[in-house]
A and B are shown apart, each in its own frame.
Chain A
Amino acid sequence: MLKVTDLNVFYGPIHALKGISLEVNDGEIVTLIGSNGAGKSTTLNTITGLVKAASGSIQLDGTEIANMAPHKIVQLGISLSPEGREVFPALTVEENLRLGAFTRSSKGEIEANYQRAYDLFPRLKERIKQTAGTLSGGEQQMLAIGRALMSSPKILLLDEPSMGLAPNLVLMIFDLIRSINQQGTTILLIEQNANMALSIANRAYVLETGNISLSGDAHELARDDRVRRAYLGG
C-alpha cells in the first residue's frame, strides 16, 4: 500500500533521514520505533507532505506522492494523527471532526464516519459541543485519532498516540488502535513506548539517527537482544 524508497530529508545542514526504505502492506499494523531524534516524526511528516523530501520516492498504491501538497495527500487517503494531538482548541469537538472530513463531500459518508468516531470513542459524543481546548489529554488524543479517521483514510499514521497519557489510558488507546485496524484501516504507528507498539504490530522497523537499523516481524524483534537492550529496558 505505502512504499517508501531511499528517502532523504535535510533540515538545513542536518541530514535527518539518510535514505530510509520501508513498506506497509494492506491491512497491516507496522510500527516504527526508535529513540528521541531518530527521525520518526520526520518520516511521517515527509509522508504527509509537511516536510519536503530531498530525494527518494514515496508511493501510495503505486502513485508517487513525494513532495505533493499536504491537502492533496489527504485526499488520496493518508491521514495523520500528529504528535502532540494538534486539535483546534477553540473549535468544538464536532467542528474538529467535521474538519477531519474536509476532503469528503458525501453527506452519507461523513455521517457514517461521525458514527464510527462516536462508537470508538463514546466520550467524544458526550462532549460534542465542548471546545477541544477544554478536553483532558486522553480525550484530546481520542479526538485527534477520531478526526484523522473522518477522511476515510486507506492508511492511518499515528505519531506517539500514548505520549503523556496515564497507563490505563495507554492500554485503552492501543486496544482502540487494534480495533481500528480490524475494521480495515492499515496503520503505521510511531511510538517511544516500544513494548506496547511491538505487542500490537505485525511488523516493525527500528530507526536510529536517520537510518533503519533493523526490521522484521514485530514479535521476533521484541525478543531480539539488541532491541531489548536499547528500547525495552533490558
Chain B
Amino acid sequence: MVTFLGATINGLVLGMAYALIAVGYSLVFGILRLINFAHGSIYVFGAYMVYLFVSLQVGLFPSILLAILLAGLLALLVDKITLEPLRKKNSMLISDLITTVGVSFIIQNVLSVEKVFGSERKVFPSLNLFSNITIGHITIQSSQIIMFVVALLLLLVLTFIVNKTKIGLSMRATEQNSRAAKLMGINVNFVISFTFFLGGASAAIAGALICGYYQVISPTMGSLIGLKAFAAAVVGGIGILHGSVVGGLVVGVCECLAAQYLGSNVRDPMAFVILIIILIIKPNGLFGKKGITKV
C-alpha cells in the first residue's frame, strides 16, 4: 500500500509537469492543426537557459524567468522563420510537420556542440528548496511539491488566459475560423505568435521543474519526454486544455506504477501503451470531440 501510494504520488507530480508540456502541443494544434515536433527541443532549450544563467551566478529565480522569456521567444521565432512562410504559400500540412521535426534536431544538435553545452549530461541545480515532507512512511521531496504546485498554478493561469481574457477569446475565435477571426479585426499572425510564445514559456517552466527534480540535464532529453507529453495531449484529446492535464496525469501515474511493479525498463513505453489502449476505445482521446474539423 505504501509503495502504491508513493508511486502514485510520484506519478501525479511528474504527470503535472508532462501536462505543462502537453498544453504546448495542444495550444498550437488548436490554432494551426499542426503537431509542433520542435516543442520537445524548446523544453530542452529552456532547461539549458536556466542552467546557463545559474552558472553565470544570475540566481535561480531570475534565471528561470529569463529562460521562460527566451524559450517563448525561440518558439515564436521558429514559427516566424520556418512555418509562417509555408502558411503564406498554403503548403501542405506535411511540409510544416517535417519542418518542425527538422527544427527539433537542429536545436538539440546546436545545444550539444562542444563549444555550446556539450553532449554529456550535466548536473542541474536542485529545486529541493526546503526540507522533505514525511507522512507516515511516504516521503515527498520539496522539489516534487514545488513541481506540482507551480505546474498546477500555471495550468490554471493558462486556462484563465484562454477562457477569460480578450487575447484568449481571439485565440478561441482563430481556432474555430481564422478567416472570420480576421474579419473581426483580429491580427491572426499575432495570435499565432502569442500561442507559440505561451507554449514555449510553459515548456521552459516544465524543463526547470523536471530537471530541478532529477538534477540532471542533457541535450537529447527532449525527444522522449516530448513524445510522452505529445502522447499525453492525444490521450486527453488534443486541442483541449483540461484534456492535456488529465492526459499528463494518466501518463505520469501509469508510468510510475509500471516502474514500481513491472520494472524500470517498462517505464518509458508505458505512455505509448496507454495511448494505444485509449485510442482504440476513444479515438479522439478522453475529452476529444468527434471529428474536430475547421468549420
Give residues in A with beta carbon < 8 Å to B. 48-50, 69-71, 74-75, 79-80, 82, 86-91, 95, 98-100, 102-103, 133, 147-148, 151
Contacts and interface: CB of A to CB of B under 8 A. Distances in A.
Contacts of A91: 169, 172-173, 176
B279 to A, nearest CB: 23
Contacts of A80: 183
Contacts of A74: 183-185
B31 to A, nearest CB: 14
Interface string B204-228: 0000000000000000000000000
B170 A102 contact: yes
B207 to A, nearest CB: 32
Q: Give the secondary structure class of B's interface.
A: helix
Interface in B158-193: 166, 169-170, 172-173, 176-177, 179-188
Nearest to B182: A70
In the complex, which of the residues B180, B182, B183 has the most CB atoms of chain A within 10 Å of its own CB atom?
A: B183
A102 B187 CA distance: 10
A99 B187 contact: no
20 contacts: A50-B182, A50-B183, A70-B183, A71-B187, A74-B184, A79-B183, A86-B179, A86-B180, A87-B180, A89-B176, A91-B169, A91-B173, A95-B169, A95-B172, A99-B173, A99-B181, A100-B184, A102-B184, A148-B183, A151-B184
Given A88-B176, A88-B177, A89-B295, A98 B169 contact: yes
Nearest to A98: B169
A75 B183 CA distance: 10
Given A91-B173, A102-B170, A151 B179 contact: no
A71 B177 contact: no
A106 to B, nearest CB: 14
Given A69-B182, A88-B173, A91-B176, 12 more contacts: A50-B179, A71-B186, A71-B187, A71-B188, A80-B183, A82-B180, A88-B176, A88-B177, A95-B169, A99-B181, A103-B184, A148-B183
A99 B169 contact: yes
B171 to A, nearest CB: 11
A69 B295 CA distance: 22
A214 to B, nearest CB: 29
Contacts of B177: 86, 88
Contacts, number: 65
A87 B184 CA distance: 11
Contact of A71 (B166, B169, B176, B182): B182
A145 to B, nearest CB: 13
A142 to B, nearest CB: 16
Nearest to B190: A71
Contacts of A75: 185
Interface in B80-113: none
Contacts of B188: 71
Nearest to B176: A88
Contacts of A98: 169
B176 A151 contact: no
Contacts of B182: 49-50, 69-71
Q: Which of A49, A69, A71, A87 has the most CB of B within 10 A?
A: A71
A133 B177 CA distance: 13
Contacts of A50: 179, 182-183
B65 to A, nearest CB: 30
B286 to A, nearest CB: 18
Contacts of B185: 70-71, 74-75, 102-103, 151
Nearest to A85: B180
Contacts of A82: 179-180, 183
A91 B170 CA distance: 11
- Pick the 5 closest A-B CB pairs, nearest first: A74-B185, A103-B185, A70-B182, A86-B180, A99-B184
A62 to B, nearest CB: 21
